[in-house]
A and B are shown apart, each in its own frame.
Chain A
Amino acid sequence: MSATIAARSAGVPQAGAASSAPPMLEAIDVTRMFMVSQGFMRAKKPLHAVNGVNLSIRQGEVVGLVGESGCGKTTLARMLLGLMPPSSGSLKIDGQPLTGMRRRDVARLVQPVFQDPYSSLNPRKSVGSIIGLPLRVQGGVNSEEEKKRVLEMMELVGLARRLYDNYPSQLSGGQRQRVAIARALINRPRMVICDEPTSALDVSVQSQILNLLQDLRRELGLTYLLISHNLAVVEHMADRVAVMYLGRIVEQTDTDTLFRNPRHPYTEALLKSVLTPEPGLGVPDTQLGAAYPNPLNMPSGCRFHPRCARRFGPCDTIVPRPLNSAEGMVECHLYDDDVKKEVAA
């Protein structure tokens, strides 16, 4: 790592100090609703893609966000990036409210890395131009300075200098993802939102990108929100995990606790479905019914009840409330003593 980079990242709290660090990004009771057309001459229906989410990410922390497709992960990420305003609730970045902030200022603080490095890079721009674009957007650098910083960044993410004038089509998947990471980091953001950063890559390339993300986090004091359906990757990278189901976070706790003792039946099912390369264990039976519910027609009570193996009395009528304890947050009647008492009475 070059001296300039070390100097720039000085003063940023390092990972490990995360537990006491102030929040980098906060979502308070955030909801995002879309009006969805039901067809010609029929009334539009509201779809709550994100429904009352509370999430706080501390400086230097890696938070994993997991859940099935359609659960609202990406909508939440888009709001956190300032690309889409929430319908209600508030978002704070580095202590300031995100609504009302200029796009360019948000971009200085948070940057995304997307899943597919084949479609997230402009095929008609050279590598150097792609990585340098955020510098030009923020302004204040001449072309010489820009090239110097781009080359510096390419070195940091492990891209050879000779690729500066190449085009994305000449690169491998892993190299493209490095370009995407370099582009995200060129303006020294404080936080990176990685939306399935390795799902489109081969395993041998995946491990290189994960190692790179770990190194960059340490060297630059970055904060990550890691969105992934690969729980093994999340377990490896994240300090804390939030599990999302149909627009709500249903369990949130530190990674060790979650993997050792998952409490929400949905988390349990998710963990069960992780297929690790260990022969003899067979394919797990997750006991989740086949159907992921239609988000336009939410189940009553607990949204998860139609697929839950441990549902009981109140699950289909009463909406579970968030329960906070030393073990983290969970939204499930199984852990709500008040509800259980009522059922017994």
Chain B
Amino acid sequence: MSDRILSVEGLEVSLPVPTGTLNAVQGVSFHVERGETVCIVGESGCGKSLTALAIMDLLPKRARRTARELTLLGEPIIGVSESAMSDLRGNRMAMIFQEPMTSLNPAYTIGNQLEEALLRHRKVSRAQARERAVHLLERVGITAAGQRLRQYPHQLSGGLRQRVMIAMALMTGPDLIIADEPTTALDVTIQAQILHLLAELQREFHMGLVLITHDLGVVARIATRVVVMYAGQVVETGTAAEVFGAPRHPYTRGLLDCIPIPGKTKRGERLGTIPGMVPSLVGHMQGCHFAGRCNYVVDACREAPISLTATPGGAHQVRCIRADELIGERATAREDVA
């Protein structure tokens, strides 16, 4: 059991809205082993960020969260007191957000904020905390770390700020890091560097890493396992090789068809598209959530809830009743139905 860092079973998150209840996350299950990078990927509104916040217990107050199981290192982290949770947060599990400017406090120095992360959870002196801060800043590739400690967030570039955030997450040596779109606000060159760094640190510190992103390119390169979400549900999950090499859900295949790949897609050729829009998650939905946009929809898709089923002899799971028939079929029509 010691190698399973995080276990999520049947996670549900709902929010009251004027028109009813928004079922933002509907029965999401996945787990993270030590040393694994699990990527949760999906488009805006699919529930990926709320899944992360639900694990950290950082949901907005009006949100309702339930789960059959939610454990960190075998200990439940749902239904525990707020003080117990804040002992875990930033300690055994840490989070890295998309916009490092808004997640760092502009009124305190980098050093102050880094040290605080450790002083809050460990009985150490400020000098010891400072020492660790310098060590970690150097580790994440920041030169002249001692001087940087006296600087304020606005004095650093976006890439440096994100490195500071990573260093801060590492201060207590957590078992789990959840990174929500950690490179989206950064330049491509810096993005590659930060991902490279995250992958390296994850191996070095032997942590579990949950990476939340909309960028399939990032996922393909860094993930041990992939969780594809659509409209609040997991629609496909498996290893990166399975999901990208042989995608089985029409949504996953459609997404991959949308992306130009230098040397593979032909210049000027039409890219695949997914017609239609994400359905509203207010109220209950019958059948497959993707049915309204799917080229392969049949009556049976709309009748009953579709369950996530494993392919024979593998961990590759897909939520589609026609997945087996569709192997070998082209994912999307190349015609734009805008």
Q: Which of B190, B214, B271 contacts A202 (CB 8 A)?
A: B214
- Given contacts A211-B271, A288-B189, are A277 and B260 in contact (CB under 8 A)? no
Q: Which of A203, A237, A279, A283 contacts B192 (CB 8 A)?
A: A283
**Is the CB of A309 closer than 8 A to any CB of chain B?**
no
Q: Are B259 and A283 in contact (CB under 8 A)?
A: no
Q: Are A203 and B187 in contact (CB under 8 A)?
A: no
Q: How many residues of A contact B (CB 8 A)?
A: 47
Q: Are A232 and B192 in contact (CB under 8 A)?
A: no
Give the contacts of A257-299 with B (CB-CB under 8 A): 259, 269-270, 272-286, 288, 290-292
Q: Which of B160, B199, B220 contacts A277 (CB 8 A)?
A: B220
Among residues of A, the one whose C-beta sits closest to the C-beta of B244 is A279
Q: Are A204 and B141 in contact (CB under 8 A)?
A: no
**Is the CB of A214 closer than 8 A to any CB of chain B?**
yes
**Is the CB of A324 closer than 8 A to any CB of chain B?**
no
CB distance from A273 to the nearest CB of B (A): 4
Tell me which residues across on chain A come within 8 A of B123, comparing CB atoms.
Answer: none
**Is the CB of A68 closer than 8 A to any CB of chain B?**
yes
Q: Which of B141, B193, B221, B223 contacts A286 (CB 8 A)?
A: B193
Would you give the 0/1 interface string for B187-226, flagging 1 where the beta carbon is closer than 8 Å to chain A? 1111111011001000000000000001111111111000
**Is the CB of A5 closer than 8 A to any CB of chain B?**
no
Tell me which residues across on chain A come within 8 A of B116, comparing CB atoms.
Answer: none
**Is the CB of A18 closer than 8 A to any CB of chain B?**
no
Q: Are A231 and B262 in contact (CB under 8 A)?
A: yes
Tell me which residues across on chain B come within 8 A of A68, comparing CB atoms.
Answer: 187-190
**Is the CB of B255 closer than 8 A to any CB of chain A?**
yes
Question: Bound complex: CA of A276 vs CA of B256, how far in Å?
Answer: 10
Q: Are B338 and A203 in contact (CB under 8 A)?
A: no
Q: Are A231 and B142 in contact (CB under 8 A)?
A: no
Q: Are A275 and B218 in contact (CB under 8 A)?
A: yes
**Is the CB of B61 closer than 8 A to any CB of chain A?**
no
Question: Bound complex: CA of A274 vs CA of B254, how far in Å?
Answer: 21
Tell me which residues across on chain B come within 8 A of A236, comparing CB atoms.
Answer: 260, 262, 265, 267-268, 271
Q: How many A-B residue pairs have CB under 8 A?
A: 152
Tell me which residues across on chain B come within 8 A of A285, comparing CB atoms.
Answer: 192, 196
**Is the CB of B57 closer than 8 A to any CB of chain A?**
no
Question: Bound complex: CA of A292 vs CA of B143, how far in Å?
Answer: 14
Question: Bound complex: CA of A231 vs CA of B260, how far in Å?
Answer: 10
CB distance from B217 to the nearest CB of A (A): 3
Interface size bucket, B side?
35 or more
**Is the CB of A143 closer than 8 A to any CB of chain B?**
no
Q: Are B220 and A275 in contact (CB under 8 A)?
A: yes
Question: Bound complex: CA of A285 vs CA of B196, how far in Å?
Answer: 7
**Is the CB of B178 closer than 8 A to any CB of chain A?**
no
Q: Are B220 and A290 in contact (CB under 8 A)?
A: no
Tell me which residues across on chain B come within 8 A of A237, comparing CB atoms.
Answer: 267-268
Q: Are A283 and B188 in contact (CB under 8 A)?
A: no
Q: Are B220 and A279 in contact (CB under 8 A)?
A: yes
Q: Are B338 and A275 in contact (CB under 8 A)?
A: no
Would you give the 0/1 interface string for B237-269, flagging 1 where the beta carbon is closer than 8 Å to chain A? 000110111000000001111111111110110
- Given contacts A211-B271, A286-B189, are A259 and B263 in contact (CB under 8 A)? yes
Q: Which of A202, A273, A276, A290 contacts B188 (CB 8 A)?
A: A273
**Is the CB of A55 closer than 8 A to any CB of chain B?**
no
**Is the CB of B173 closer than 8 A to any CB of chain A?**
no
In the complex, besides A232-B262, A277-B244, A290-B141, 11 extra interface pairs with C-beta distance below 8 angstroms are A68-B188, A204-B274, A208-B336, A208-B338, A230-B188, A237-B268, A276-B259, A277-B219, A280-B241, A282-B199, A291-B157
Taking Cβ atoms with an 8 Å cutoff, the residues of B that contact A are: 43-44, 141-143, 157, 159-160, 163, 187-193, 195-196, 199, 214-223, 240-241, 243-245, 254-265, 267-268, 270-274, 277, 336, 338
Taking Cβ atoms with an 8 Å cutoff, the residues of A that contact B are: 68-69, 158, 172-173, 202-204, 206-208, 210-212, 214-215, 229-233, 235-237, 255, 259, 269-270, 272-286, 288, 290-292
Q: List 8 A-B contacts (CB under 8 A).
A: A208-B336, A232-B259, A235-B267, A275-B215, A276-B220, A283-B195, A290-B141, A291-B160
